[in-house]
Structure 1
Amino acid sequence: MSAWTVDSGCPASCATDPDPRVPLGELARRYATLTYALTRAVARGDRLAEPSVLQAEARGVLGALGVGIAGVGSAEGAPFSVRAGGVGTLVVANHISWLDVVALLAVEPVSVLAKREVGRWPVVGALARRAGTRFIDRDGSPRGLPGLVTELADSLRGGTSVLVFPQATTWCSASGGRFRRAAFQAAVDAGAPVRPVTVEYRQGGGPSTSAAFLGEEDFTSSLRRVAGARGLRVRVTAHAPVRGADRRVLADAARRAVLGGGVTVGKCAA
């Protein structure tokens, strides 16, 4: 398979409607609050890339949507980056939704690697660019992969922590998908630690796929489910960092940590 080839992920049918839902009046209020939050973020201009500003705006978006962070845990009781040696941390997480990025930035504002299509989304694309998101063209030639790895390694050496989703596509729960290994080579080259992170969504005391953004679904439909969910919470669990000199070993160790902490809730989770 090409280095750019990704798994198909879950179909849109794996994303379920929220239960319970908020009343229409509360839904309207959330949309209005979200509009205000996004307008404020746009007004930040280039300041949006400042860590404290980016973190505050991410938290503002979660609050506008009524989404709470259920818990953040790690072996050190600290955020994602490992403060040692002057290098950044490669943060690797499972991928369920566009909301993953917002939740992770609300914990710690790191640089994000995203598919190029995100840069073309209305409002969100402009905000992502101002926040310093790096875009990857997954339909490009495999010849571009070494350059991307070199760029990531240089960022890590320079002390910048970078968030990647090595599954490269979304699944309805934390238990699906392979981990692509290219980004782990950047960690090897830079001598950087890898921080595995598990993202899970819950509603009404149990796991939920309401936040999942899957297949060919449009962003508006996904946003409507998230905004309409009562008591939707995202749990972000940071696992102990891993290090190594072999990208395969690193990828396997990170996948075991990330998916071992996940809950299978969808019929298409692998």
Structure 2
Amino acid sequence: MNAWAAASTCTPRCARHTAPRVSAPRRVARYAGLAGALAAGAAAGERLADPATMRLRAAAVLRALGVRVETVTGGSGAADAPGAYGSSCTAAPAPYGGPLSVPRPPGGPGTLIVADHISWLDVMALLAVEPATALAKREIGRWPLLGPLARKAGTRFIDRGELRELPHVVADLARILRGGRSVLVFPQGTTWCSAAAGRFRRATFQAAIDAGAPVRPVTVSYTQHGVPSTVAAYLGDEGFGRSLHRVAGAGGLTVRVAVHPPLEPVGDRRALAERAQRAVCAGERPAHG
């Protein structure tokens, strides 16, 4: 087993509703809205890689499925926190800037955004908060509906079973970061039913070290009417259609994006990955309101 061949012990049985399902007519309306949102994304063509367009289209997919996004910023004194990215890099906002990227001086690097991985909705939610170049497994590029849009949005794909490909991927991510663009990765390597499960793989953290880029830990979690829920989890050998059907029927679904103080790219990648995972796990708590 290599660094990308992560195996989850979670199965589709872990995914459960914690609130009553919506009615059949509501579910049909959501499917119709999703079809319209995806059609608009396809019509955008190459413009889908534009940050503003990407954000609008990701938000439209979530809105069509009745999914609300809640963004929470943790830690007010980010620059003073242990291991935080220093305040010397706050001269100007980054291109593709937003709540996830660390402000940078002109010519400075982008941000390596690292999050736990629960669902295919994770990417939609994070791109709706702030567009970034995402790294995903190669299979997603072959998915119906979302696969073509992911390719047009500039997603980088990796074959997790091909270890020889890894150095090239890391070098590509470092190049993107040096160019000032932020990169979104899921270091757990596969999906789990909670943020605390699975171990962060350390390979992509080398890209941040090589580029001198800050690392932004982010916790993604889901609730239904404020109650923690696994309904959005995409686990094991479950098909995309089955997962989509469950999400379309979920009532009161909210994805909570908790943004933590950034980490400075110092030390070795193992220690950096461990620090990031501690921050992500600590941020897993029920949403408010």
- Give the TM bin, normalised by the shorter chain: over 0.9
Question: What SS does the aligned partner of 1:43 have?
Answer: helix
Question: What SS does the aligned partner of 2:136 have?
Answer: strand
**Equivalent runs, 1:193-232 vs 2, <5 Å:** 193-232=214-253
Distance in 2, Cα, partners of 1:89 & 1:153: 10
Distance in 2, Cα, partners of 1:71 & 1:154: 29
Q: 1:129 aligns with which of 140, 151, 155?
A: 151
**Equivalent runs, 1:138-217 vs 2, <5 Å:** 138-140=160-162, 142-217=163-238
Distance in 1, Cα, partners of 2:116 & 2:249: 24
Deviations 1:85-129 (A, max 9, x none): 420100000000000000000000000000000000012110000
Distance in 2, Cα, partners of 1:110 & 1:245: 25
Whether 2:287 is the aligned partner of 1:238: answer: no
Structure 1 window deviating more from structure 2 (189-198 vs 13-22): it is 13-22
> Do the aligned residues in 2 keep the contact of 1:68 with 1:232 (CA within 8 Å)?
yes
Question: What SS does the aligned partner of 1:202 have?
Answer: strand
Question: What SS does the aligned partner of 1:88 have?
Answer: coil
> Do the aligned residues in 2 keep the contact of 1:18 with 1:228 (CA within 8 Å)?
no
Distance in 2, Cα, partners of 1:179 & 1:44: 34
Deviation at 1:18, TM superposition (A): 5.3
2:104 maps to what in 1? Answer: 84
> Do the aligned residues in 1 keep the contact of 2:33 with 2:64 (CA within 8 Å)?
yes
What is the one-letter code of the residue matched to 2:273?
A
Distance in 2, Cα, partners of 1:71 & 1:192: 23
> Do the aligned residues in 1 keep the contact of 2:19 with 2:252 (CA within 8 Å)?
no
1:26 maps to what in 2? Answer: 26
Distance in 1, Cα, partners of 2:126 & 2:156: 16
> Do the aligned residues in 2 keep the contact of 1:91 with 1:161 (CA within 8 Å)?
yes
Deviation at 1:6, TM superposition (A): 1.1
Deviation at 1:25, TM superposition (A): 1.0
Structure 1 window deviating more from structure 2 (156-165 vs 2-11): it is 2-11
Structure 1 window deviating more from structure 2 (214-223 vs 81-90): it is 81-90
Distance in 2, Cα, partners of 1:18 & 1:40: 32
1:107 maps to what in 2? Answer: 129
The alpha-carbon distance between structure 1 residues 216 and 54, as it changes in their structure 2 partners (threshold 3 A), is same
The alpha-carbon distance between structure 1 residues 194 and 200, as it changes in their structure 2 partners (threshold 3 A), is same
What is the one-letter code of the residue matched to 1:216?
D
Deviations 1:209-228 (A, max 9, x none): 00000000001111111111
Distance in 1, Cα, partners of 2:75 & 2:101: 12
Deviation at 1:74, TM superposition (A): 4.0
Question: What SS does the aligned partner of 2:246 have?
Answer: helix
What RMSD over aligned residues (CA atoms) do the two structures have, in Å? 1.5
TM-score, normalising length from structure 2? 0.88
Deviation at 1:235, TM superposition (A): 0.4
Q: How many residues align?
A: 263
> Do the aligned residues in 2 keep the contact of 1:18 with 1:225 (CA within 8 Å)?
no
1:6 maps to what in 2? Answer: 6
Distance in 2, Cα, partners of 1:100 & 1:9: 19
The alpha-carbon distance between structure 1 residues 168 and 199, as it changes in their structure 2 partners (threshold 3 A), is same
Structure 1 window deviating more from structure 2 (148-157 vs 38-47): it is 148-157
Deviation at 1:72, TM superposition (A): 3.0
> Do the aligned residues in 1 keep the contact of 2:4 with 2:189 (CA within 8 Å)?
no
Distance in 1, Cα, partners of 2:274 & 2:256: 22
Task: Give unpaired runs (5+ residues) of structure 2.
Answer: 79-97
> Do the aligned residues in 2 keep the contact of 1:173 with 1:263 (CA within 8 Å)?
no
Question: What SS does the aligned partner of 2:110 have?
Answer: coil
Task: Give unpaired runs (5+ residues) of structure 1.
Answer: 265-270
1:98 maps to what in 2? Answer: 120
